Amino acid sequence: MKLLTIVIPCYYVEQYLAECLDSILDSKYNDVLEVLAINDGSKDQTDAVAKEYCQKDSRIRYISQENSGVIAARNRAVSESSGEFILPLDA
């Protein structure tokens, strides 16, 4: 179990997602966190960016779902998280 899960709902965020993930991965708390990126039906390159980061770092998990809204994306991430604490973060 990780201490912190950072939840990132993603909807057409291809231009921001890499910078967001880089800033998280540069933190000094890397050994205690997991990152869940939830693609909520984006048709841009959000999917490709998220998958690229998943291959780079095992702490990042990626889930893709049909567009259901930001609340549904956050709820899905909460149900799949393993962190003791959850931090929602917009990309």
69-86 average pLDDT score: 93
Of the candidates 59, 71, 70, the one whose C-alpha atom is nearest the C-alpha of residue 31 is 59
Residue with tokens 């003791």: 84
* Rounded Cα gap, residues 3 and 69, in angstroms: 27
In this prediction, residue 1 carries a pLDDT of 76
pTM of the entire predicted model: 0.91
pLDDT digits (tens, 9 = 90+) for 23-74: 999 887 777 899 999 999 999 999 999 999 999 999 999 999 999 999 999 9
d(CA 25, CA 31): 10
* Confidence bin at 75 (pLDDT 50/70/90): very high
More confident residue, 84 or 1: 84
Q: What token pair was written down for 32?
A: 């205690």
Residue 27: phi, psi to the nearest 5?
Answer: -75, 160
